[in-house]
Amino acid sequence: MLFQKIDKPFYRKKRSLQLNGQMIILDQPIVMGILNLTPDSFYDGGRYLVEKEVLCRAEEILLQGGLVIDIGAVSSRPGAKDVSREEELSRLMPSVAAIRKHFPEAIISVDSFRSEVITRVYNETGDFIVNDISGGKLDDNMFGTVAELGLPYILMHMQGNPATMQVNPTYGNVIKEIMLDLSEKINALKLLGVNDIIIDPGFGFGKNMQHNYELLNCLDSFRLFELPLLAGVSRKAMVWKLLEITPEESLNGTTVLNTLALMGGADILRVHDVREAVETIRLVSELKK
């Protein structure tokens, strides 16, 4: 068996990231708060479309204990409309600049799969973490761009693309195939000199309900990479479809799955509800002492 659950922690996970000359320490799990600049995201689309709303959300994330503000301008929900590079930039640039101005110490993550967008935002606003849902699949220049700019990179697994990913996703062995895909891309990134890599198995991105729960149940398998691990299950269909509720009613289920992700070794929780995730981390950390 190539991959199996690990009972004893023989690995030595990377516990820090370099960003703008500063060290981000991951001795304890951290929270990444979601700030969607889109009108059509599955849960909070249309809430943060003007600067005042954006700044209020950024402040809320920080005051509630979030360490990273993850800013995205293109919805990746299944069936979402395509957004041009120009439209993505027109949404991103003013918001990132405003957050930089009002919260200069904030750590920002930019959620984009386009290398040209990453370069433009970097040139005008400075360093940030790159959060690429496609793991370089949708832009052949992404890995080289991240290496050239020296930015931390969230490498996510996605089968297919946002338009097709939930059309009968199929795996022979979901854990093995995701780990092989990530392994190849990690090697490619390291050959280019990218050392600050965060892995994200991509809950809901080209996975059905069974795949998602198998992935969560075997999350500790990803310790093999010895890299920080991000879990993004917040209010996703794996919660609300299973419980036959709505995304708006999915906070309790999200907290349960975040707890399980932390027990499985997650270092970063990407969430809509920051305060609840911070509290979850405190409780689980106390349990693990």
The residues assigned a catalytic role are: 236, 270
State how far the Cα of 14 lies from the Cα of 2, in Å rounded to an integer.
22
Amino acid identity of residue 96, one-letter, is V
Burial class (CB in 10 A: 0-12, 13-18, 19+), 123: exposed
CA distance linking residue 232 with residue 43, whole number of Å: 14
CA–CA distance, 255 with 192 (Å, rounded to integer):
37
Would you call 242 helix, strand, or coil by DSSP?
helix
According to DSSP, the β-strands at 16-19 and 22-25 are antiparallel
Q: Tell me phi and psi for residue 260, to 5 degrees.
A: -65, -40
Q: Where are the alpha helices (DSSP H) in 15-69?
A: 51-63
Calculate Rg over the CA atoms of the chain: 18
10, exposed or middle or buried, with CB in 10 Å at 0-12, 13-18, 19+? exposed
Q: What are phi and psi of 109, to 5 degrees?
A: -120, 135
Cα end-to-end distance, the chain, whole Å: 32
Separation CA 286–CA 279 (nearest Å) = 11
> Per DSSP, what are the bridge partners of residue 36?
72
- The DSSP line for 71-96 is EE-S--STTPPP--HHHHHHHHHHHH
